């Protein structure tokens, strides 16, 4: 079934129930805008602390946008790009695109103008929908990108080079367009995170999207009464596919604009959230704020919060052990996935396997996994190899890139580029990204193992281990370390701490600096390698 059928069903079953809430805690709370007021106001996320809509309004907004696109000549298999910060309009726009049979193409909100233009051209997008935060960037390329595509603006004060989404959709039909869709129809193009190079365009069909709904609901048991707190950007598969479990059950979700610990805890408390998906830095920030006394748990109503889960990156065991001490009643889970496998869940730990914290788990619902050597042969249990996954959520291809597709798709298996090993109980542990493995003097060194060890140091907030050039050994390991606020550490102190590691795993260089992460929490190692691998370490450390 195409995923748009779920929205139609939710509208019929839960039409008057609140489905989406948007909260912007940077703005003083003056009043709350309800779904009844939604059509009577200019839906500007900048001027309202809290907005909400029902399933019937959600579906109506999607239909109006779908009908606008159809009126403008958009047809099946055309592409519509979305460049918006998280807001109440985001998901209705996404589903409006799908209802036309066109493909939704979410764009990373951090893209510079040239990257926006590159991705629009790579995906062959026919329309760009953008918000107020991107006026300057889009204006820089408006002369070229507007020649072959429509530009719709969502917000107040529409720029002259675009058309106003709000006024246009207000005059469109709210009836569901009669476009026949099947599971095999193309649905969306997502872009890879770009942590290993320039982003690739990842094509998925409706079967992929529906499978992600089923996987998430199977893993976390969402019911209609759950409330999901969504903090990561919706352009990324991780946030949206975790929301898909709630979507499948017609449950409410809260879009929180802000990642400060007090924002998160306040939203959980006021909106009675039961499920929260966090990135590693946000979980660390919450615990650190509690330790410092910046936030006090007794100030919040958190008893209904049942599940905290983390994904998008390796999760340190020490972090979860620390979390469980503060929140002993929480279920914990982690999911592994890629945009190429429609986000999280192809490998899944499971809330019942808390004793295996550190592992990413076993094959997720409806998925198969294997760990293979360079020749594609399954390795023996305990040996390191490349993780490959297979299931209904695997991408169709890299759009317009047969060579890149052939490199990762073989006989239905997606070769992830992640190195992993399986323990005696069949649980899979990530070792590292294939491209991040450091080869020093012929020895394979896996940075994630060193990072996990360093994070057990109470002074270390974040760490990234990279390979930097060395004339004698080819590469040596450098640990870029971010120290917790209010604490200090010396290079000698870190080196002494690392004496517990085998000699070949001890970092050869220590650099104290902030760790750059992309919006989905992944460490930007190419940026670090460029910063610290292409110049003397003295210069790099002085720049910090």
Each residue's pLDDT tens digit, 85-95: 999 999 999 99
pLDDT (tens digit per residue) in 308-317? 988 766 677 8
Cα–Cα distance measured from residue 161 to residue 107, given in angstroms and rounded to the nearest whole number: 20
The confidence score (pLDDT) of residue 504 equals 77
The confidence score (pLDDT) of residue 391 equals 96
Nearest to 360 by CA among 322, 389, 392: 389
Is 39 a residue whose pLDDT tops 60?
Answer: no
With the CA atoms of 239, 242, 243 and 247 taken in that order, what torsion angle do they form, in degrees rounded to the nearest 10? 150
Q: Residue 41 — very low, low, confident or very high, per pLDDT cuts 50/70/90?
A: very low
* Most confident region among 205-219, 274-288, 517-531 by mean pLDDT: 205-219
**Could you write out the three-class secondary structure of 417-470?**
EEEEEECCCCCEEEEEEHHHCEEECCEEECHHHHHHHHCCCCCEEEEEEEEEEE
The confidence score (pLDDT) of residue 28 equals 63
Cα–Cα distance measured from residue 127 to residue 282, given in angstroms and rounded to the nearest whole number: 34
The confidence score (pLDDT) of residue 343 equals 81
Q: Which residues pair with 130 in a beta bridge?
A: 83, 153
Q: Average pLDDT, stretch 285-310?
A: 94
∠ Cα 113 117 120 (to 5°):
140
What residues contact 239, with CB distance under 8 A and at least 6 apart?
230, 231, 232, 233, 277
% pLDDT > 70, the chain: 90
* CATH 3.40.50.12780 in the chain, residue ranges: 4-241
What is the bridge-based pairing of β-strands 413-422 and 409-410? antiparallel
From the options 3.40.710.10, 1.20.1440.130, 3.40.50.12780, 3.40.50.2000, give the CATH code of 4-241: 3.40.50.12780
pLDDT (tens digit per residue) in 450-499? 888 898 898 999 999 988 887 667 788 999 999 998 899 999 999 999 99
Query: Taking the CB of residue 404, how many other CB atoms lie within 10 A of it?
Result: 15
Is 124 a residue whose pLDDT tops 70?
Answer: yes
User: Do residues 396 and 183 make contact, with C-beta atoms less than 8 angstroms apart?
Assistant: no
Is 38 a residue whose pLDDT tops 60?
Answer: no
pLDDT (tens digit per residue) in 380-406? 999 989 999 999 999 999 999 999 999
What residues contact 78, with CB distance under 8 A and at least 6 apart?
100, 102, 103, 126, 127
**Would you state the structure tokens that stand for residue 229, as one six-digit string?**
């707190």
**Residue 501 vs residue 482, higher pLDDT:** 482
Q: How far apart are the first and last CA of the chain?
A: 52
Region of poorest pLDDT, from 34-43, 132-141, 500-509, 526-535: 34-43
Cα–Cα distance measured from residue 45 to residue 57, given in angstroms and rounded to the nearest whole number: 17
Is 303 a residue whose pLDDT tops 70?
Answer: yes
Cα–Cα distance measured from residue 353 to residue 108, given in angstroms and rounded to the nearest whole number: 34
* Most confident region among 63-77, 136-150, 322-336, 503-517 by mean pLDDT: 63-77
Region of poorest pLDDT, from 50-64, 288-302, 456-470: 456-470
Is 297 a residue whose pLDDT tops 50?
Answer: yes
Nearest to 259 by CA among 444, 24, 97: 24
Query: Taking the CB of residue 542, how many other CB atoms lie within 10 A of it?
Result: 8
What residues contact 494, with CB distance under 8 A and at least 6 apart?
454, 457, 479, 481, 507, 510
The confidence score (pLDDT) of residue 149 equals 93
Region of poorest pLDDT, from 168-172, 219-223, 530-534: 530-534
365 sits in the region (left: phi over 0; alpha: psi -120 to 50; else beta) called beta
Q: Average pLDDT, stretch 245-253?
A: 97
Is 207 a residue whose pLDDT tops 60?
Answer: yes
Is 210 a residue whose pLDDT tops 70?
Answer: yes
Cα–Cα distance measured from residue 397 to residue 381, given in angstroms and rounded to the nearest whole number: 30
Region of poorest pLDDT, from 5-14, 120-129, 446-455: 446-455
Cα–Cα distance measured from residue 459 to residue 1, given in angstroms and rounded to the nearest whole number: 51
∠ Cα 493 496 497 (to 5°):
85
The confidence score (pLDDT) of residue 43 equals 44
Query: Taking the CB of residue 17, how many other CB atoms lie within 10 A of it?
Result: 15
The confidence score (pLDDT) of residue 53 equals 96
In terms of C-beta density within 10 A (0-12 exposed, 13-18 middle, 19 or more buried), how is residue 284 classed?
buried
User: Do residues 530 and 466 make contact, with C-beta atoms less than 8 angstroms apart?
Assistant: no
Nearest to 215 by CA among 352, 393, 349, 351: 393
Nearest to 191 by CA among 281, 270, 265, 81: 81
Is 535 a residue whose pLDDT tops 60?
Answer: no
CATH of domain 437-543: 3.30.300.30
* Most confident region among 146-150, 299-303, 434-438 by mean pLDDT: 299-303
Q: How much is the mean pLDDT over the chain?
A: 88
The confidence score (pLDDT) of residue 539 equals 32
pLDDT (tens digit per residue) in 334-378? 988 888 999 888 999 999 998 888 889 999 999 999 999 988 999
SS3 for 207?
A: helix
* Most confident region among 208-212, 230-234, 445-449 by mean pLDDT: 208-212
In terms of C-beta density within 10 A (0-12 exposed, 13-18 middle, 19 or more buried), how is residue 384 classed?
middle
The confidence score (pLDDT) of residue 408 equals 94
What residues contact 350, with CB distance under 8 A and at least 6 apart?
219, 333, 361, 362
Q: Residue 174 — very low, low, confident or very high, per pLDDT cuts 50/70/90?
A: very high
Is 197 a residue whose pLDDT tops 60?
Answer: no
* CATH 3.30.300.30 in the chain, residue ranges: 437-543
């Amino acid at each position: 079934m195409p995923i748009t059928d779920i929205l139609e069903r939710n509208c019929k079953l839960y039409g008057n129930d609140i489905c989406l809430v948007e909260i912007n805690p940077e703005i003083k709370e003056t009043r709350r805008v309800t779904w009844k007021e939604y059509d009577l106001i200019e839906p500007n996320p900048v001027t309202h602390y809290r907005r909400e809509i029902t399933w019937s309004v959600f579906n109506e907004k999607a239909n109006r946008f779908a009908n606008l696109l159809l009126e403008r000549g958009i047809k099946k298999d055309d592409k519509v790009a979305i460049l918006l910060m998280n807001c109440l309009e985001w998901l209705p726009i996404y589903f409006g695109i799908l209802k036309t049979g066109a493909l939704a193409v979410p764009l990373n909100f951090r893209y510079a103008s040239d990257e926006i233009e590159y991705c629009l051209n790579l995906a062959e997008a026919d329309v760009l929908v953008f918000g107020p935060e991107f006026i300057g960037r889009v204006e820089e390329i408006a002369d070229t990108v507007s020649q072959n595509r429509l530009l719709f603006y969502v917000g107040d004060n529409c720029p002259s080079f675009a058309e106003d989404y709000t006024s246009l959709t207000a005059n469109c039909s709210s009836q569901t367009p009669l476009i026949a869709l099947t599971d095999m129809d193309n649905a969306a193009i997502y872009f890879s995170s770009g942590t290993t190079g320039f982003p690739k365009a990842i094509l998925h069909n409706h079967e992929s999207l529906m499978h992600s709904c089923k996987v998430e609901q199977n893993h976390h048991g969402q019911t209609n009464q759950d409330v999901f707190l969504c903090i990561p950007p919706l352009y990324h598969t991780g946030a949206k596919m975790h929301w898909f479990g709630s979507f499948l059950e017609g449950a409410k979700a809260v879009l929180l604009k802000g990642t400060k610990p007090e924002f998160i805890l306040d939203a959980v408390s006021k909106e009675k959230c039961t499920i929260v998906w966090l990135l590693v830095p946000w979980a660390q920030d919450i615990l650190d704020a509690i330790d410092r006394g910046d936030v006090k748990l007794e100030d919040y109503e958190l008893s209904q919060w049942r599940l905290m889960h983390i994904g998008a990156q390796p999760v340190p065991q020490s972090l979860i052990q620390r979390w469980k001490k503060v929140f002993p009643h929480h279920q914990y889970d982690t999911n592994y996935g890629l945009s190429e496998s429609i986000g999280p869940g192809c490998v899944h730990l499971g809330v019942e396997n808390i004793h295996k914290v550190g592992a990413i788990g076993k094959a997720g619902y409806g998925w198969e996994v294997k760990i293979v050597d360079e020749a594609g042969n399954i390795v023996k249990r305990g040996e390191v190899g490349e993780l490959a996954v297979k299931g209904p959520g695997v991408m169709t291809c890299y759009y317009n890139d047969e060579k890149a597709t052939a490199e990762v798709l073989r006989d239905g298996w997606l070769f992830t580029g992640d190195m992993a090993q399986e323990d005696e109980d069949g649980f899979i542990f990530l070792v590292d990204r294939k491209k991040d493995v450091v080869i020093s003097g012929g020895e394979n060194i896996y940075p994630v193992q060193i990072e996990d060890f360093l994070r057990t140091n109470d002074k270390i907030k974040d760490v990234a281990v990279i390979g930097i050039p060395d004339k004698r050994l080819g590469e040596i390991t450098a640990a870029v370390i971010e120290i917790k606020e209010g604490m200090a550490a010396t290079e000698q102190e870190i080196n002494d701490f690392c004496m517990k590691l085998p000699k070949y795993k001890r970092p050869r260089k220590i650099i104290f600096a902030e760790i750059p992460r992309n919006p989905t929490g992944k460490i930007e190692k190419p940026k670090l390698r460029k910063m610290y691998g292409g110049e003397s370490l003295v210069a790099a450390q002085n720049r910090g």
